[in-house]
Amino acid sequence: MILGLILCILLPFSAVSQEDGTKKEKKKKERKAVNPNFKHKFTTFHLEARAAFEYNYEHDEWGYSSPLGAPPHGEATQHNYGFHGDYFNLLLGGEVGDHISYFIRQRIIPHAGTVNFFDNTDFLYIQYRFNDNWALRLGKEALYVGGYEYDAPPIDVYYYTHYWGAIPCFHIGASAIYTDKSGKNKVVLQVANSPYVKYGGNTWKSGLLSYNLYWAGDYGPFHTLYSVNMMEYQRGKFINYIALGNQLRFPKWSIYLDWTNRAAGFDNFFEDFSLVSRVDWHVSPSVNLFAKGGYEQNTAGYYYGDHVDVDMVMPNDLAHCFYGLGVEYRPRVYPDLRVHAFVANSVKTLPMGIDGDHGSHDMTLTANVGVSWRLDFMKFLPEKLK
């Protein structure tokens, strides 16, 4: 009798347990049936870093008066040198299924962002590819501005225009991307925060946007990175960029020429621009020689309309000329290691300072020897990452 009572009590629970187990097995089978359509695959997973020893000879000539209190037409010379690290980045990208992909590039630095949490994150976006021609990208990435100096990863740029060093180019936005059937043309329409949300301690809540139209062309040895950009510096007021990047590529050598014009109105067109070019000679698979130089200026006037300096990348009346030579070496046994050396000279002339008094003529001669290293986890853990 006791045994019968126990069985009467346990049998219903046993039936429920069997039913739950059947449901769990069914769900597992359903997940297995769905998962093959959403397999994950890493496309990028590596760390990169660059460090160098640099020597700078800086000679400053002040004009009418010096901001440091030196006598009229005073001069100052400094010798600065030492070891330093430039970049330490984590890059991570992957694909989920046939349509979804993502990419992240995080700069690993000890300082927090000054404007928002993602200041030190260059790329953090997700992309949905509708078909071979159309894709939609959401998140943080570089503003689509043309030019090959602008387009290059920062770790590959040794010395540069004032414009390249000053523009805060990484912002959150949305991009519609079209690639034609031949694959030779890519057109991007992007709406994102304006660089001016970083100007004067502003945040994205300033409500300043940029509208960017970009074209990348690939026609045999001739390549283009062109753009037209409208960037708000005040609500409803824009500075216009026209960026024309042109490149010729051949097996042994390549050259690019970038011209970027900036203007807040037709009266100041062609007065604020940057021009830069680089030539590379691939001596061997391991050795590359390069020469780079440029000229840029802003003579458009300090004030536009309501007393606002709209060009945040080139101060008014600044003229900058620079040029240099360099070499890169990659060992054949380990091409992810790169050794570089370059010598460059930079001259900046500011006839009239911001307050209308201080002029300057500054020259900086730089010698730099360094190493870049890329630790590609895709090569060491191929089976784990598939």
pLDDT > 70? residue 32? no
Of the two residues 29 and 238, the one the predictor is more confident about is 238
Burial class (CB in 10 A: 0-12, 13-18, 19+), 243: buried
pLDDT digits (tens, 9 = 90+) for 267-311: 778 899 999 999 999 999 999 999 999 999 998 875 555 556 678
In the chain, at which residue ranges do the beta strands (DSSP E only) sit? 40-62, 75-96, 100-107, 121-129, 134-142, 170-179, 185-193, 209-219, 222-234, 237-249, 253-263, 272-282, 287-298, 319-329, 337-350, 360-376
pLDDT > 70? residue 264? yes
pLDDT > 80? residue 186? yes
Both tokens of 241, joined, read: 């960029």
Average of per-residue pLDDT values in the chain: 85
pLDDT at residue 299, rounded to an integer: 87
Give the whole-angstrom CA distance, residue 375 versus residue 332: 16
Report the DSSP beta bridge partners of residue 276.
Answer: 258, 294
Least confident of 20-29, 40-49, 239-248, 251-260: 20-29
Is residue 327 helix, strand or coil? strand
Both tokens of 282, joined, read: 């691939």
From the list 64, 83, 89, 84, the residue with the least C-alpha distance to 154 is 89
pLDDT at residue 234, rounded to an integer: 83
65 pLDDT tier (thresholds 50, 70, 90): very low
On whether the CB atoms of residues 314 and 166 are closer than 8 A, the answer is: yes
Is residue 340 helix, strand or coil? strand
Give the whole-angstrom CA distance, residue 251 versus residue 231: 38
Percentage of the chain lying above the pLDDT 90 cut: 61
Report the DSSP beta bridge partners of residue 60.
Answer: 76, 362
Of the two residues 199 and 122, the one the predictor is more confident about is 122
Highest mean pLDDT among 17-21, 75-79, 366-370: 366-370
236 pLDDT tier (thresholds 50, 70, 90): confident
From the list 323, 320, 322, the residue with the least C-alpha distance to 351 is 320
Of the two residues 206 and 36, the one the predictor is more confident about is 206
pLDDT at residue 50, rounded to an integer: 97
Burial class (CB in 10 A: 0-12, 13-18, 19+), 323: middle
**Token pair 């062109």 is at which residue?**
226
Please, what is the Cα angle at 134 between 128 and 140, to 5 degrees?
A: 45
